[in-house]
């Protein structure tokens, strides 16, 4: 465990220290697009944060290769080298896209090439442990197609949630933490060496996100861009592929395949855990494709209908919307992790149900913001006060589009109470092409994140 923690800390430190110089480089290189009316951020912000994250990945792998116990991962498996090769391909394409806006088909091809590079070096799905069936061996073509599909889906799912400051890095960090505990338990408790690469990938991924988050939290000083979002999506997919298709479930328990699979479900959760770590990004991906197709748009057309945009429309502030997304990611990932450890405990189920109810309450919090009576307004924070009604002769207050201020700049906050005579606000149209929420496959507007 200490060597994993050391690898995590080194990765985080390198990523953190390099992000500042990378920000200056991005500004000098002109990778800082102009602001459009519907962008969430209000100041031009440089991209290319993925450069620091990639070098953090390289530093983590280099340190792990020189540690006594983790060095065995490199000696017994070619998966770390496969990950580095695929990451280099996807990172280079991401850097070019952040600067020059590459065509959609080129990015899609690059994602497939990166997955193919990993498959050629041994990082692929060999079999699937399916409940009530047993371990199903896959042919070479089946494993390759499934691996490529998982990599492409995960990359774009992570990129879909990269719409608010700190959102993608934080959600992936939470998922990586849960996945690390899951993989470490398989490796340490059961002594299965095949789970060691996935454990290492999760530790390095946490370090990349932790090191980048201080620079990316609201208000962000730099964005990770496609060079970062596609990179962490690929690392996340690599860990899921390694633990799902490389670890033989028959090694966990004795007996036949059928009894083994029955015995380890849901203790092992070979299929569920990799899916839970991208549950929210995957749901956002599916909803976006359905929404855009229903409107007659391209599935890759950027719009402002993602889950985090809808939280802002409900009335949440930028920071609160990010924290709510963090909450749901942690609930799903760690809930599945707890269920895999002890599925017979009703306390785990009840805890997940209670936390889900709390999460629903948080989602509707702006609807339930209390209003203080007139006599108590001087004793409560400004967001709970009623603003005075302006006389008819007074000039109308400037709208957000006129003043350029965001909802968070208002004294009542985005979750504040409406005026007795509400101001006119420019409605936000969901599904407008060319704004925030570009996919890793589709064309990215130079002003969209």
Instruction: Give 431's pLDDT tier (boundaries 50, 70, 90).
Output: very low
Residue 354: CB partners within 8 Å, gap ≥ 6? none
Q: How would residue 105 be classed by pLDDT, with cut points 50, 70 and 90?
A: confident
Query: Mean pLDDT highest for which of 178-192, 221-235, 356-370, 395-409?
Result: 221-235
Provide the pLDDT confidence category of residue 41 given band limits of 50, 70 and 90.
low
Assess contact for 435 and 301: CB atoms under 8 A. no
Which is nearest to 73 in space by CA: 173, 251, 202, 234? 202
Q: How far apart are CA 49 and CA 188, in angstroms?
A: 34
Give first-to-last CA distance, the chain, whole Å: 36
Mind listing the pLDDT tens digit for each residue in 247-268? Answer: 665 555 444 444 444 444 444 4
Cis ω for the linkage preceding 425 (within 30 of 0): no
pLDDT at 291: 74
Predicted pLDDT of residue 419: 42
Report pLDDT for 50: 94
293-318 pLDDT per residue, tens: 777 776 666 656 666 566 766 766 76
In the chain, the largest separation of any two C-alpha atoms, in whole Å, equals: 84
What local confidence, expressed as pLDDT, does residue 337 receive? Answer: 82
pLDDT, greater one: 254 or 435? 254
Judge contact between 343 and 266, C-beta under 8 A: yes
Task: Give the DSSP per-residue string, 121-155.
Answer: TT-S--EEEETTTEEEE--HHHHHHHHHHHHHHHH
List beta partners, residue 130: 134
What per-residue confidence (pLDDT) applies to 110?
A: 93
Higher-confidence residue of 415 and 222: namely: 222
Check pLDDT > 50 for residue 447: no
CA dihedral 211, 213, 219, 224 (to 10 degrees): 90
pLDDT digits (tens, 9 = 90+) for 371-391: 666 666 676 666 556 655 444
Please give the pLDDT value at position 219. 84
Task: Tell me the pLDDT band of 409, cut-offs 50, 70 and 90.
Answer: very low
pTM: 0.73
CB 430 within 8 A of CB 304: yes
Are residues 384 and 370 in contact, defined by beta-carbon separation less than 8 angstroms? Answer: yes
Is pLDDT above 90 for 85?
Answer: yes
**% of the chain at pLDDT higher than 90:** 29
Looking at the predicted structure, is the pLDDT value of residue 402 above 50?
Answer: no
pLDDT of residue 248: 62
Indicate the pLDDT class of residue 272, thresholds 50, 70 and 90. low
> Has residue 116 got a pLDDT over 90?
yes
> Per-residue pLDDT for 288 more than 70?
yes
Highest mean pLDDT among 79-83, 388-392, 443-447: 79-83
Res 273: pLDDT: 63
Q: pLDDT by residue (tens digit) across 88-102?
A: 999 999 999 988 888
Question: What average pLDDT does the structure give for the chain?
Answer: 75
| Percent of the chain surpassing pLDDT 70 | 65
Q: How confident is residue 350, by pLDDT bands cut at 50, 70 and 90? A: confident
Higher pLDDT, 40 or 332: 332
Q: What is the pLDDT of residues 168-204, one digit of tens each?
A: 899 899 989 988 988 888 887 777 788 889 999 999 9
């Amino acid at each position: 465990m200490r060597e994993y923690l050391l690898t995590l800390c080194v990765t985080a430190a390198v990523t953190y220290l390099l992000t500042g110089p990378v920000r200056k480089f991005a500004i000098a290189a002109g990778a800082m697009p102009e602001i459009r009316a519907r962008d969430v951020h209000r100041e031009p912000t440089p991209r290319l944060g993925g450069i620091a994250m990639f070098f953090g990945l390289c530093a983590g792998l280099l340190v792990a290769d020189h540690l006594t116990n983790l060095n065995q991962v490199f000696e017994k498996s070619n998966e770390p080298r496969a990950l580095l090769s695929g990451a280099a391909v996807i990172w280079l394409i991401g850097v070019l896209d952040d600067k020059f806006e590459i065509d959609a088909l080129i990015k899609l091809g690059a994602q497939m090439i990166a997955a193919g590079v990993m498959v050629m070096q041994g990082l692929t799905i060999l079999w699937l442990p399916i409940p009530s069936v047993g371990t199903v061996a896959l042919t070479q073509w089946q494993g390759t197609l499934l691996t490529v599909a998982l990599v492409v889906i995960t990359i774009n799912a992570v990129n879909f949630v990269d719409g608010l400051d700190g959102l993608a890095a934080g959600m992936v960090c939470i998922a990586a933490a849960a996945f690390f505990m899951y993989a470490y338990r398989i490796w340490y408790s059961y002594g299965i060496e095949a789970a060691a690469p996935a454990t290492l990938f999760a530790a390095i991924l946490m370090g990349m996100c932790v090191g980048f988050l201080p620079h990316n939290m609201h208000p962000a000083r730099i964005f990770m861009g496609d060079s970062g979002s596609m990179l962490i999506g690929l690392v996340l997919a690599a860990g899921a592929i390694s633990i799902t298709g490389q670890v033989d479930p028959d090694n966990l328990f004795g007996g036949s395949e059928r009894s083994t699979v029955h015995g380890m479900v849901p203790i092992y959760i070979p299929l569920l855990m990799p899916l839970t770590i991208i549950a929210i990004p995957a749901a956002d991906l599916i909803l976006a494709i359905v929404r855009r197709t229903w409107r007659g748009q391209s599935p890759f057309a950027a719009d402002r209908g993602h889950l985090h945009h809808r939280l802002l429309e409900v009335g949440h502030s930028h920071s609160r919307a990010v924290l709510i997304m963090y909450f749901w990611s942690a609930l799903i990932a760690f809930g599945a992790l707890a269920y895999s450890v002890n599925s017979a405990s009703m306390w785990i189920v009840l805890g997940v149900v209670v936390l889900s109810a709390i999460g629903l309450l948080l989602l509707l919090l702006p609807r339930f913001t209390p209003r203080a009576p007139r006599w108590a307004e001087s004793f409560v924070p400004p967001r709970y006060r009623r603003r005075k009604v302006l006389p008819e002769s007074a000039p109308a207050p400037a709208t957000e589009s006129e003043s350029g201020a965001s909802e968070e700049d208002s004294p009542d906050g985005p979750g504040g109470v409406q005026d007795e005579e509400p101001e006119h606000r420019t409605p936000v149209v969901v599904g407008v092409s060319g704004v925030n929420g570009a996919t890793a496959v589709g064309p990215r507007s130079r002003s969209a994140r």
